[in-house]
Amino acid sequence: MKAVLARCFGAPDEFAVETLPDLQPSAGEVRIRARVAAVSFVDSLTAAGRYQVRPTLPFVPGSEVGGVIDQIGAGVRGLRIGDHVVGSIQFGAFAELVIVPVHHLMRIDPAMEFDQTVAAYIPQLTALYALTDRGKLRRGQTVLVLGAGGAIGFAALQIATLMGARVIAAASSPEKREAALAAGAIAAIDSRSTDFRSEVATACGGKVDMVVDPVGGALTETAFRCLNWRGRLLVIGFASGKIAQLPVNLALLKGAALIGVNVGQYLDRQPRAAAALRKQLHRWWEQGELATPIRCREPLSRFAPAMVAAADGMGHGRVLLDLTN
């Protein structure tokens, strides 16, 4: 099989497409003949050796993939060869053949496009898990979404709106803020504003009930200060590249909660609950309620510029790799 291989931690142009032995699934796994992979900021961070999980070298980057099952490991039930699926792994997705644990898979209707489902699956599942299971979002509450132009932020904006919440979007460019307003946000604020808290207060008439934070860095504390009594800040990631240092007395003063969101562990530890969320996502996809913007689609040979584009934070929409050519 052809795959992107990283023999060292570094920049994408230090890696190469190589021919590797075909993989075989173990118990509880399936093998996918891959069609499309989504490229994320985390993929570049992992490849650079700067993520919280460091793979053993050499390794194949990539964590989100869709394709057709062509082999099934022992003990797998409810899936068949030929099923169309999307799935997630820690690394290994930038390849023609990909092994995925069964709990990390979602079977999709063959009529659905891989581009949309792969682009949507992990960001939307993460956002749905964050808002419902972790955040206990209720209709009519106000949600501040940081990084609303990114994949998870945009998914959280869409899903919170579908659930009847009022969403204030924070994003770094006019293009991203315009997209957030078009997707249903009641206001869109420049995340670099020096008057951020006042702008949030003006937008919602006070304070917010929840903050969705896939960004981290200095903005986390500012956003926490925007919380209402008994508010919740959902920690999803650190796209800023910096882990926030939060004065914990703020949680005491506000009776507020700092809540971690780890969708990978959720899939492993609570597979039945995760299956219910996947069913909800599938219903929304069938009804055309959710659409994920796609920025560009590159062949496997252009994995390096695709990884750079996904990490630069400049454009709006997901970057995809075509694994069939």
Q: Which residues of 115-138 are buried (b: 16+ CB within 10 A; e: fewer)?
A: bbbbbbbbbbbbbbbbbbbbbebe
The pLDDT-based confidence of 268 (bands split at 50, 70, 90) is very high
Question: Is residue 143 left, alpha or beta, with left meaning phi > 0 and alpha meaning psi from -120 to 50?
Answer: beta
Buried-state track 173-188, b at ≥16 Cβ within 10 A, e below 16: beebbebbeebebebb
pLDDT category at 269 given cuts 50, 70, 90 is: very high
| Strand-pair category, 16-19 with 187-190 | unpaired
* pLDDT at res. 242: 86
Of all residues in the chain, the percent with pLDDT exceeding 70 is 100
325 pLDDT higher than 90: no
Assess contact for 115 and 320: CB atoms under 8 A. yes
**For residues 143 and 238, which has the higher predicted lDDT (pLDDT)?**
143
Determine how many CB atoms are found less than 10 A away from the CB of residue 76: 18
* In-domain check, residue 103: yes
Length of the chain: 325
Provide the pLDDT for residue 239.
Answer: 86
In this prediction the pTM is 0.95
At residue 240, the pLDDT reads 84
Strand partners, 18: 3
105 and 18 in one domain? yes
Work out the number of other CB atoms within 10 angstroms of the CB of residue 37.
30
Helix (H) or strand (E) holding 5: strand 2-5
- What pLDDT was estimated at residue 169? 98
Give the per-residue pLDDT at 168. 98
Q: Are residues 211 and 189 in the same domain?
A: yes
Which helix (H) or strand (E) segment is 143 a member of?
strand 142-145
Distance CA 270, CA 20 (A): 34
Residue written as tokens 């394709």?
67
- pLDDT number for residue 314: 77
Residue 132 and residue 104 share a domain: no
Query: Average per-residue pLDDT in the chain?
Result: 95
Q: What is the identity of the amino acid at 108?
A: I
Give the model's pLDDT for residue 315. Answer: 79
Query: Domain residues for 159?
Result: 122-263
pLDDT in tens, 117-156: 999 999 999 999 999 999 999 999 999 999 999 999 999 9
Token couple for 315 = 């454009």
| Same domain? 73 vs 172 | no
The pLDDT of residue 313: 76
In this structure, the answer to whether residues 126 and 106 fall within a common structural domain is no
Q: 218, 241, 263 — which closes off a domain? A: 263
Cα–Cα distance, 40 to 62 (Å, whole number):
8
* Nearest Cα to Cα of residue 155 among 177, 133, 130, 138: 130
Q: What pLDDT is attached to residue 144?
A: 98
Question: Which of 46-55, 161-170, 283-292 is most confident?
Answer: 161-170
What pLDDT score does 1 carry? Answer: 97
Say whether both 28 and 77 belong to one domain. Answer: yes
Calculate what percentage of the chain has a pLDDT beyond 90. Answer: 93
257 pLDDT above the threshold of 80: yes
Look at residue 266 in the predicted model and tell me its pLDDT: 96
Assess if residue 276 is contained within a domain.
no
Query: Residue 49 maps to which CATH number?
Result: 3.90.180.10
Q: Is the pLDDT of residue 53 over 90?
A: no
Residue 144: C-alpha distances to residues 123, 147, 202, 207, 269 (Å): 17, 10, 13, 9, 28
| pLDDT digits 0-9 by tens, 244-254 | 889 999 999 99
* Neighbouring-strand partners of residue 188: 169
